[in-house]
Amino acid sequence: MSLRAKRGPESVSLLLWDGERVLLVKRGQGGLFPHTWTLPGGELEPGETPEVGAMRLASESAGVKTGHVRRLRSLAQPSHFRDARGPDTLFQLITWAGDPLAGPLPAAWHTPAALDGLSIFREARDLIRETCASIAAGSMPAATGAA
6-39: per-residue pLDDT in tens? 566 789 999 999 999 999 999 766 655 667 898 9
| H/E stretch holding 82 | helix 80-85
Distance CA 140, CA 73 (A): 12
Domain that holds residue 106: 3-146
Binned at pLDDT 50, 70 and 90, residue 111 comes out as very high
Distance CA 16, CA 131 (A): 11
| Mean confidence (pLDDT) of the chain | 82
Q: Per-residue pLDDT for 141 more than 80? A: no
User: 42: closest CA among 65, 85, 12, 9?
Assistant: 12
pTM greater than the 0.85 cutoff? no
Domains in the chain, number: 1
The answer to whether the CB of 95 falls within 8 A of the CB of 144 is yes
Q: Which amino acid does the sequence have at 53?
A: G
Q: What is the pLDDT of residue 104?
A: 87
Phi-psi sector, 14: left (phi>0), alpha (psi -120 to 50), beta:
beta
The more confident residue out of 7 and 119 is 119
Say which CATH number the domain at 115 has: 3.90.79.10
Binned at pLDDT 50, 70 and 90, residue 121 comes out as confident
Residue 24: beta bridge partners? Answer: 108
Residue 43: beta bridge partners? Answer: 11
Measure Cα distances from 44 to 11, 49, 82, 85, 146 in Å.
5, 8, 15, 11, 26
Q: Per-residue pLDDT for 84 more than 80? A: no
